Structure 1
Amino acid sequence: MKNKETYTNPIIPGFYPDPSICRVGEDYYLVNSSFEYFPAIPVWHSKDLVNWTQICNAIDREEQNLKLHDVAPSGGVQACTIRHHNGIFYITSTCVGKEWPRPDYNFLITATNPAGPWSEVKYLKDAPGIDSSLFFDDDGRAYFLANREKEDAVFIGDTEIWIQEFDLDTLDLKGPRYGLWDGCGGIHPEGPHIYKRNGYYYLLIAEGGTGYDHAVTLAKSNHVLGPYESAIRNPILTHRHLGFEFPIQSTGHADLVETQNGDWYMVCLATRPKAIENENKAEFANLGRETFLIPVEWQDDDSPIVSPMTGKIEEVYPFPKLERVEALETTQNMLLNTIRQEEQAFYCKKDAGYRLSMQEAKLFEDLPVSFLGRRQTEWQFSADTEFTFNLNEGESAGIALFYSYMANISFSIYNEKGKQKLILEKAYKGAVSIISEIFVSGSDFKLRVDGNNFLYKFYISIDEKDYEEVASVEDGWFLSSGAAGGHTGTYVGMYVSSNGKTSKNFVDFKRFNYCGH
């Protein structure tokens, strides 16, 4: 039973990194990075900062022109910022492609209703770097921020934050560009946000890389264009000094919000990794980077105190001084994503389930693949699906766990010369191995996967019979950035493939269920 006096972190579990937040009256809105997945940019709403309902994906139509077709794993949409000004919501972000840097990759979308529809993507000309943001000053001027490589950079990640005035009529940059700050010595100064309080401008950034050395730092100035001086309490948030055994790691990339009551809170990303035997770093976080909420106090005008009394993110905090409003259940359609496919032509809603059309690619190939899944949001979960076997020679259908084409597990029925095989296959860094392979008979198949930390168990039920465990994967830690690289999290979903052959066939999945424990 929930304790009405407290809340528990993370407030949005699973692969929901780079949170950005804004308040409009008594309503709070939050967005996350979505990287190579489509629909892109989940948008959330809350009344109490703790209970969040996803209200849309800001980019959910092919005609919005996001251009995901040429992105690599952990490329795509990174570090969104949401802001509201004069009745209009703005989201700025970066679409990182295989060609990098490339022209016009920072972009902006707008909406009058945060639940959508959002506008087509507007790519900004001559806006270098990543992690873009907007700031609206009291005098009516708007400014665009991002990071860029320093002219005298001496190492990878030697960047600085820059600012330029932004024309709200044309949605273009204008005027001269200024360098603001290069942080406190950590690599990759990025994720800039500016706030104005008591006449001072505060520049909040992330630095130190998005791993164990991640940190949140702050600088302040009397003028929006600087110069900015580093706060004496920097870094104002980091866990890099707590050791690898601390349960919350990689804290950074934050945004601040003031409640209607004058209280301040920070949202940031962090991970909840688990250790494996013979490893001295607990770097394996299959859930990816998640969204956390931390109370903040201003005791003077230098810099805020993040997580007063402890200085680190706690799992449990007192509930904000806001009326608790429970979240509504997010529809499954809103939670499901494809991998780099904005066309969505390979699938459609079918009764209570989904119809997936065959594509030639296998899950471990860097090609468009017929996978439709959702984030794994708990360390303990069950996911199941049901379909009727109707596969041609060489085709397969089933359930899969996906981190990237370099790290995935498929559990599928395969038609081999008219006979039905149930194959559990693991792919990791180019090596593909069959864990289990058995012949099965029947027509109506139910497949299930249960996750328990790094242990994934796989089950089958045929023609209304009870589930039977077939096999397991005990080293599921490889479905994480700590093993496979990148910045995302594990997905679980439905998967079909014609395995290299052209096919017009499809599979009707009667249902797909996910339940966290």
Structure 2
Amino acid sequence: METKDAFRNPILTGFYPDPSICRAGDDYYMVTSSFEYYPGVPLFHSKDLVHWRQLGHVLDRPSQLDLDGTPCSKGIYAATIRYHAGMFYMITTFVVSQTGARRNFYVTSADPAGDWSDPVWMPDAPGIDSSFFFDDDGKAYVTANRVPPEGQQYPKHMEIWLQQYDLERRTMIGDKFSLWDGALKYAHAQEGPHIYKRDGYYYLLISEGGTGFTHAVTVARSERLTGPYEGCKANPILTHRHLGQSSGIVNVGHADLVETQAGEWWMVCLASRPFGGPYRNLGRETFLVPVAWEDGWPVVNPGKGIVEMESRRPALPEHRYPSLPACDHFDREVLDDRWNYIRTPRGEFLSLTERQGYLRLRLKPESIARAENPSFIGRRQQHMRFAARTVMEFAPAANGEAAGLVLLQNHDFQLRAEYGMVDGMTAVRLIERRDGIERFIAERACEAGKLYLKVEADGQLYRFDYAKQAEQWEILAADVDGRLLSSDVAGGFVGAYIGLYATSCGERSSADRYADFDWFEYKGEEV
């Protein structure tokens, strides 16, 4: 429970992985990965490191982010945000496909809450998890991971490289330097590099061991930027793998450091909260942990060495933001920042103005069950116990037309409560899609111009209800297994989404085929 002396982790709940943070004066800015979801790279602002408000997204124009055909859990990886000489830089990797190119690029803005530039692509920057470092002399450097020039000595063996970057000419200059391949030999997947300078030393912070149960944070230092780097004898400086899979916080890693104006150091990192067994429906979330310096090395959460659910507050004035409303009445001309599309939206399938106070989703042939851009908007599941509900007006007129509420892990793992037409009859159905195979969990013959839909989750048990009149709920299905919404079952790197969608199931529909949603409400409860 949050008090005047303590805060509660995570500071960003739900699918907000790979956090990166920077400070500009008394203001803090943070970004996270977004993978195949659009807009890309959610951007947050804070004054006290504990309370955050979303400013928007860094990549919010199709000219910045083309996700057409991007597979699930590919797309935008591990963004880094930095502030230098009055300019903000966000650098990241676009993972094109399962085996295709890893393309690094950056965008800039003098005002993080305003428009960011179109991408500056960096064809000479290999690997993933690119990061900027600005030295005291103003020179810029890029670092990321790559396969070692002499080859991999064991599976997923990577190293960290560094090269100077000319910001004016927008090009790499000089040689690439091999810096370090980590402290945990044979742990694999050395990634997520960040460089800091403190008291005459350059510190290289990385993650290794993979982003799952064996994830860990390690650090090395050098008096020269290009090395050689000396690993900390206390490595890994942060991990939870020794706590076992029954720990309340697992998979800790991918960290970034920031120094406050009060002289304190803090670390943001990703971690997961499993529930109902080793299942992580909420994905990888953002946590905050204190850091001290001893004998020239960072010590994470001194005396404890782990990330805790409750921790002491930073020595900064508390700065809260107004709570966001639980119910979106769709009465604005643009979507709330909590909503996302799957991949870059194509076609005019959404309107908030054609019918005032309603979200109109036109039926598209593109399917939520394929790697396409369906007629869908979704928001993150952020609680183990929650209730979500909506009301829609929709009159299916042909077989395959459907609209409703979806709980989504990816296009092959989902739960859909939908109203549609099958064999000339309308019905409300609950469909489980598991590993690409669909089965009806429940089906009720139904004719309704207006239909209410609700899902309630208590851990991994989900209940679905429907109603023709407000609050006159009927059970569609109870005790539905929610574990298929975990990446531990479905694979990949993202957390579960809850959203609204409409489909013509592969058939072209006329422009007058749509579903109108009056409101959407999500209420979560901390457990």
Q: TM range, normalised to the smaller chain?
A: over 0.9
Query: What is the TM-score with the length of structure 1 in the denominator?
Result: 0.95
Distance 1:204 1:352 in 2: 48
Measure how far apart 1:486 and its partner are: 0.4
Q: Which residue of structure 2 aligns with residue 514 of structure 1?
A: 522
Measure how far apart 1:226 and its partner are: 0.8
Distance 2:192 2:8 in 1: 25
Distance 1:418 1:389 in 2: 15
Q: Which residue of structure 1 aligns with residue 360 of structure 2?
A: 355
Measure how far apart 1:439 and its partner are: 0.5
Secondary structure of the 2:508 match is: coil
Distance 1:341 1:354 in 2: 18
Measure how far apart 1:44 and its partner are: 0.3
Distance 1:12 1:224 in 2: 33
Map 1:15-54; keep pairs closer than 5 Å.
Answer: 15-54=15-54
2:126 pairs, out of 121, 125, 128, with 128
Deviations, residues 118-152 of structure 1 (Å, cap 9, x unaligned):
11122111211000000000011110011001121
Query: Does the CA contact (< 8 Å) of 1:353 and 1:512 recur in 2?
Result: no
Deviations, residues 341-369 of structure 1 (Å, cap 9, x unaligned):
24363223243331111122333223332
Q: Which residue of structure 2 aligns with residue 112 of structure 1?
A: 110
Query: Kindly tell me: are residues 428 and 289 of structure 1, through their superposed partners in 2, closer, same or farther at Cα, counting changes over 3 Å?
Result: same
Query: Does the CA contact (< 8 Å) of 2:255 and 2:270 recur in 1?
Result: yes
Distance 1:372 1:92 in 2: 26
For the pair 1:492 / 2:498, whether they are aligned, the reply is yes
For the pair 1:414 / 2:416, whether they are aligned, the reply is no
Query: Kindly tell me: are residues 483 and 99 of structure 1, through their superposed partners in 2, closer, same or farther at Cα, counting changes over 3 Å?
Result: closer
Secondary structure of the 1:220 match is: strand
Map 1:141-220; keep pairs closer than 5 Å.
Answer: 141-151=139-149, 152-184=151-183, 185=185, 186-220=187-221
For the pair 1:297 / 2:303, whether they are aligned, the reply is no
Deviations, residues 47-68 of structure 1 (Å, cap 9, x unaligned):
000000000111111122x221
Q: Which residue of structure 1 aligns with residue 332 of structure 2?
A: none
Query: Does the CA contact (< 8 Å) of 2:70 and 2:343 recur in 1?
Result: yes
Query: Does the CA contact (< 8 Å) of 2:396 and 2:426 recur in 1?
Result: no
Structure 1 unaligned spans of 5+: 277-281
Secondary structure of the 2:101 match is: coil
Q: Which residue of structure 2 aligns with residue 76 of structure 1?
A: 75
Distance 2:99 2:33 in 1: 18
Query: Kindly tell me: are residues 26 and 406 of structure 1, through their superposed partners in 2, closer, same or farther at Cα, counting changes over 3 Å?
Result: same
For the pair 1:455 / 2:457, whether they are aligned, the reply is no
Deviations, residues 308-336 of structure 1 (Å, cap 9, x unaligned):
11111111111111111112445862111
Query: Does the CA contact (< 8 Å) of 1:61 and 1:342 recur in 2?
Result: no
Equivalent AA in structure 1 for residue 432 of structure 2: K
Deviations, residues 56-94 of structure 1 (Å, cap 9, x unaligned):
111111122x22113211000010000000111000000
Query: Does the CA contact (< 8 Å) of 1:454 and 1:475 recur in 2?
Result: yes
Q: Which residue of structure 2 aligns with residue 279 of structure 1?
A: none
Distance 1:247 1:346 in 2: 41
Distance 2:56 2:372 in 1: 27
Equivalent AA in structure 2 for residue 294 of structure 1: V
Deviations, residues 268-327 of structure 1 (Å, cap 9, x unaligned):
000001244xxxxx2x100000000000000221x2110111111111111111111112
Measure how far apart 1:95 and its partner are: 0.7
Deviations, residues 5-49 of structure 1 (Å, cap 9, x unaligned):
110000101000000000111100000000000011000000000
Structure 2 unaligned spans of 5+: 326-334
Identity value in percent: 43
Measure how far apart 1:231 and its partner are: 0.8
RMSD of aligned Cα (Å)? 1.5
Query: Does the CA contact (< 8 Å) of 1:442 and 1:463 recur in 2?
Result: no
Map 1:52-91; keep pairs closer than 5 Å.
Answer: 52-64=52-64, 66-91=65-90
Distance 1:191 1:348 in 2: 39
Query: Kindly tell me: are residues 304 and 221 of structure 1, through their superposed partners in 2, closer, same or farther at Cα, counting changes over 3 Å?
Result: same
Deviations, residues 238-284 of structure 1 (Å, cap 9, x unaligned):
011111111100000000000001000000000001244xxxxx2x1
Equivalent AA in structure 1 for residue 284 of structure 2: R
Q: Which residue of structure 1 aligns with residue 376 of structure 2?
A: 371
